[in-house]
């Protein structure tokens, strides 16, 4: 079948790219999505139920390989497998990061990605509840609203942060967020509004769109170094589709590199060892970055009101060292007693409880994605906490949690400490951090701008092929990664049309 554009992956970025192509051009667009073609299950639409999708049919169910830095544990890595991708199963927190993130991308040589240039793209994507402002947009496809009617677990973090001296942060999507306040979510009327809902879903009857769901792209096809299309598996058969203009890879930070590697674009030594013909020797799969999230500081409480919003409701941006310009710790409140499986064995979770989850936003550790075999399983290694600086930053975050938990607002709520059971020594805290380390589910960087794609997201040395998803971030943003991924896809749409 012949198309003008083939978009691989109808996830967060793919929905944006395909929708903008349909709206701005008269192109015929094929979208190939491995997961389900509907995103209307209550576990998807109700933001309070997002955790129920972990390990379900809507999750690729990847994991990071064990490493001594995380006490030899395998760490689950959820990825959305449904239209809307991870944007259909995520925790709906809508956060851009810090202006220095994007200025940093530009300073690395990626022209056009500084904050002032990408701000209009962020604004274009959103429908902010307060209407248009200098740094917010109105009327865009993604509704963004602050959490209202805060759950006691969310209020306790805000009140404790303020009594510790932090400023109140009414809107964390300002250029340089610092302080404590409510989350902003991509919800409306209490329902998730994913990139599928906001961008591509409304266009699904467009006659120029062919959406193949349940279809897994296996290989890219080439004429010399020009990408001509894709080979994919659908309904038990192998199909090929050609793109007269371009193929846009939007399969996310794990599967975009997987497709490139299988297609001969990657580190020559790795590919040759697997017998894959090398088309372009590029560091695909290297530079994996993710935010380590400690799960968690857990406390027993009285029975609290039912969970609401996205199970959190508030967050705190903080610097682990006063000289840092950009906050490197983002801590979220949890309305449930969340603990990693390994911590839960040591500290049985209480029937009623809450948690504090500190995440490291500017990690120095770098991981990788590699093929174990041609079109076979992957080796995904985050290398969480391999850099000592990351451990030091989280030690400071543990100290902050300890300080917060003894502020009056938490004292009123907490019946007893569960994990940890008391203040810890440095050695105990290091061991706690290694056992509490989980993923914020924010892998990025595996097809990085600069080394794998150029600043217009075209793969170096290859024609007709772009990557547009979280994998192109050269460095991870200093907050959750969804809004920046949508911004990247908006940029790709501008390059294409
Ligand atoms: C559980 C969870 C919670 C999160 N919480 C938040 C949050 O609250 N806030 C936030 O900002 N970020 C959050 N994130 C991260 C955020 O959702 C992601 O950074 C973002 O959605 C990534 O978008 P993407 O387009 O790069 O990839 P994805 O959205 O994952 O899209 C990739 C798509 O490609 C498809 N695909 C993959 N391989 C193939 C193939 N071979 N053939 C065809 N299709 C394929 C996948 O099925 C998927 O639909 C969370 C993520 C998860 C998983």
1-91+98-144+192-289+444-497: which CATH topology?
FAD/NAD(P)-binding domain (3.50.50)
| All structural domains of the chain with their residue ranges | 1-91+98-144+192-289+444-497, 148-182+291-367+385-440
Q: Is residue 478 classed exposed, middle or buried when 0-12, 13-18 and 19+ CB atoms within 10 A define those classes?
A: buried
Quote the CA–CA distance of 223 and 40 in Å, as a whole number: 40
What is the predicted pLDDT for the residue at 296? 86
* Residue in 10, 17, 19, 86 to alter for ligand 1 test, most ligand atoms within 8 A of Cβ: 86
* Residue in 251, 263, 440 to alter for ligand 1 test, most ligand atoms within 8 A of Cβ: 251
Query: Dmax over Cα atoms in the chain, in whole Å?
Result: 68
User: Do you know the residue count of the chain?
Assistant: 497
What is the predicted pLDDT for the residue at 477? 98
User: DSSP readout, 418-484?
Assistant: EESSS---HHHHHHHHHHHEEE-S--B-TT-BTTTB-TT-BBTT-BSEEE-SGGG-SS--SS-SHHH
Taking the centre of ligand 1 as the mean of its atom positions, its distance from the CA of residue 488, in whole angstroms, is 13
Of ligand 1's atoms, which has the minimum distance to the CA of residue 471?
A: 26
Taking the centre of ligand 1 as the mean of its atom positions, its distance from the CA of residue 257, in whole angstroms, is 14
Taking the centre of ligand 1 as the mean of its atom positions, its distance from the CA of residue 185, in whole angstroms, is 16
Strand partners, 30: 6, 210
Of ligand 1's atoms, which has the minimum distance to the CA of residue 470?
A: 26
* Residue in 311, 479, 482, 488 to alter for ligand 1 test, most ligand atoms within 8 A of Cβ: 482
Quote the CA–CA distance of 216 and 93 in Å, as a whole number: 28
The hierarchical CATH code for the domain 148-182+291-367+385-440 is 3.30.410.40
Quote the CA–CA distance of 153 and 353 in Å, as a whole number: 9
Closest CA to 146 of 94, 99, 105: 94
* Residue in 43, 79, 80, 196 to alter for ligand 1 test, most ligand atoms within 8 A of Cβ: 80
Ligand 1: which residue has its CA nearest to atom 50? 90
Q: Which residues of 299-316 are buried (b: 16+ CB within 10 A; e: fewer)?
A: bbbeeeeebbbbbbbbbb
Contact (CB, 8 A) for 80 and 309: no
201 three-class SS = helix
Ligand 1: which residue has its CA nearest to atom 23? 12
Of ligand 1's atoms, which has the minimum distance to the CA of residue 251?
A: 34
Contact (CB, 8 A) for 463 and 453: no
Please, how many CA atoms are within 13 Å of residue 90, restricted to the half-sphere of its CB? 29
Taking the centre of ligand 1 as the mean of its atom positions, its distance from the CA of residue 295, in whole angstroms, is 21
Quote the CA–CA distance of 31 and 33 in Å, as a whole number: 6
Asked about 352 being catalytic, the answer comes back as no
What is the predicted pLDDT for the residue at 1? 75
Taking the centre of ligand 1 as the mean of its atom positions, its distance from the CA of residue 91, in whole angstroms, is 11
Quote the CA–CA distance of 417 and 414 in Å, as a whole number: 7
Task: Report the run of H or E that residue 117 belongs to, with start and end.
Answer: helix 115-125
Residues lining ligand 1, CB < 6 A? Answer: 8-14, 32-35, 78-81, 85-87, 89-93, 95, 216-217, 250-253, 255, 259, 441-442, 469-470, 480-483, 485
Taking the centre of ligand 1 as the mean of its atom positions, its distance from the CA of residue 244, in whole angstroms, is 27
DSSP state of 199: I
What is the predicted pLDDT for the residue at 139? 98
Q: Is 54 left (phi over 0), alpha (psi -120 to 50) or beta?
A: beta
Taking the centre of ligand 1 as the mean of its atom positions, its distance from the CA of residue 474, in whole angstroms, is 17
Catalytic residue among 69, 136, 291, 442: 442
Closest CA to 140 of 483, 492, 426: 483
Quote the CA–CA distance of 425 and 421 in Å, as a whole number: 12
Closest CA to 481 of 90, 117, 140: 90
Ligand 1: which residue has its CA nearest to atom 12? 482
Task: Look up residue 209 and give its two tokens.
Answer: 């769109």
Of ligand 1's atoms, which has the minimum distance to the CA of residue 84?
A: 49
Taking the centre of ligand 1 as the mean of its atom positions, its distance from the CA of residue 159, in whole angstroms, is 33
Task: Report the run of H or E that residue 378 belongs to, with start and end.
Answer: strand 378-381
Vertex 385 angle, CA 274 and 267, to 5°: 20
Quote the CA–CA distance of 45 and 216 in Å, as a whole number: 24
Of ligand 1's atoms, which has the minimum distance to the CA of residue 81?
A: 47
Of ligand 1's atoms, which has the minimum distance to the CA of residue 83?
A: 49
Q: Is 224 left (phi over 0), alpha (psi -120 to 50) or beta?
A: left
Vertex 144 angle, CA 483 and 363, to 5°: 30
Task: Look up residue 310 and give its two tokens.
Answer: 């996205």
Q: What does the pLDDT profile of the chain (497 residues) look like in tens digits?
A: 799 999 999 999 999 999 999 999 999 999 999 999 999 999 999 999 999 999 999 999 999 999 999 999 999 999 999 999 999 999 999 999 999 999 999 999 999 999 999 999 999 999 999 999 999 999 999 999 999 999 999 999 999 999 999 999 999 999 999 999 999 999 999 999 999 999 999 999 999 999 999 999 999 999 999 999 999 999 999 999 999 999 999 999 999 999 999 999 999 999 999 999 999 999 999 999 999 999 989 999 999 999 999 999 999 999 999 999 999 999 999 999 999 999 999 999 999 999 999 999 999 999 999 999 999 999 999 999 999 999 999 999 999 999 999 999 999 999 999 999 999 999 999 999 999 999 999 999 999 999 999 999 999 999 999 999 999 999 999 999 999 999 999 999 999 99
Ligand 1: which residue has its CA nearest to atom 18? 482
DSSP state of 49: G
Contact (CB, 8 A) for 28 and 246: no
């Amino acid at each position: 079948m012949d198309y003008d554009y083939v978009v691989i992956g109808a996830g967060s970025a793919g929905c944006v790219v395909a929708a903008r192509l349909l709206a701005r051009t008269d192109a015929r667009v094929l979208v190939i999505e491995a997961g389900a073609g509907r995103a209307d299950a209550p576990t998807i639409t109700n933001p309070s139920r997002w955790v129920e999708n972990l390990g379900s049919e809507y999750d690729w169910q990847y994991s990071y390989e064990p490493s001594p830095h995380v006490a030899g544990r395998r760490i689950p890595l959820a990825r959305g497998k449904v239209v809307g991708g991870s944007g259909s199963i995520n925790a709906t927190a809508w956060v851009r990061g810090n202006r220095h993130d994007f200025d940093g991308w530009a300073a690395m040589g990626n022209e056009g990605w500084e904050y002032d240039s990408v701000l209009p793209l962020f604004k274009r994507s959103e429908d902010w509840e307060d209407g248009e402002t200098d740094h917010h947009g109105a009327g865009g496809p993604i509704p963004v609203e602050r959490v209202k009617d805060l759950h006691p677990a969310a209020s306790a973090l805000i009140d404790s942060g303020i009594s510790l001296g932090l400023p109140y942060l009414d809107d964390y999507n300002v250029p340089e967020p610092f302080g404590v306040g409510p989350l902003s979510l991509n919800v409306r009327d209490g329902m998730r509004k994913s990139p599928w809902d906001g961008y591509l879903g409304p266009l699904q009857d467009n006659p120029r769109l062919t959406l193949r769901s349940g279809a897994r792209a296996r290989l890219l096809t080439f004429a010399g170094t020009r990408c001509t299309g894709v080979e994919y598996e659908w309904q038990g058969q192998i199909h090929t589709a050609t793109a007269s203009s371009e193929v846009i890879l939007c399969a996310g930070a794990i599967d975009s590199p997987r497709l490139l590697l299988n297609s001969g674009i990657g580190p020559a030594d790795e590919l040759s060892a697997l017998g894959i013909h090398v088309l372009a020797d590029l560091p695909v799969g290297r530079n994996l970055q993710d935010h380590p999230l400690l799960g968690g500081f857990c406390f027993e409480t009285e029975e609290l009101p039912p969970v609401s919003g996205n199970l959190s409701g508030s967050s705190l941006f903080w610097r682990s060292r006063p000289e840092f310009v950009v906050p490197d710790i983002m801590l979220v409140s949890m309305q449930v007693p969340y603990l990693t499986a390994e911590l839960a064995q040591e500290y049985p979770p209480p029937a009623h409880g809450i948690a504090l989850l500190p995440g490291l936003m500017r990690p120095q550790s770098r991981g990788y994605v590699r093929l174990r075999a041609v079109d076979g399983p992957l080796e995904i290694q985050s290398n969480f906490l391999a850099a000592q600086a990351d451990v030091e930053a989280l030690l400071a975050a543990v100290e902050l949690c300890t300080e917060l938990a003894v502020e009056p607002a938490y004292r009123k709520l907490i019946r007893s400490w569960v994990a940890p059971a008391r203040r810890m020594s440095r050695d105990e805290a290091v061991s706690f951090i290694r056992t509490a380390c989980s993923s914020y589910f924010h892998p990025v960087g595996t097809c990085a701008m600069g080394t794998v794609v150029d600043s217009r997201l075209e793969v170096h040395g290859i024609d007709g092929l772009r990557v547009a998803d979280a994998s192109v971030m050269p460095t991870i943003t200093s907050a959750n990664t969804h809004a920046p991924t949508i911004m990247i896809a908006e940029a790709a749409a501008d390059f294409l049309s």
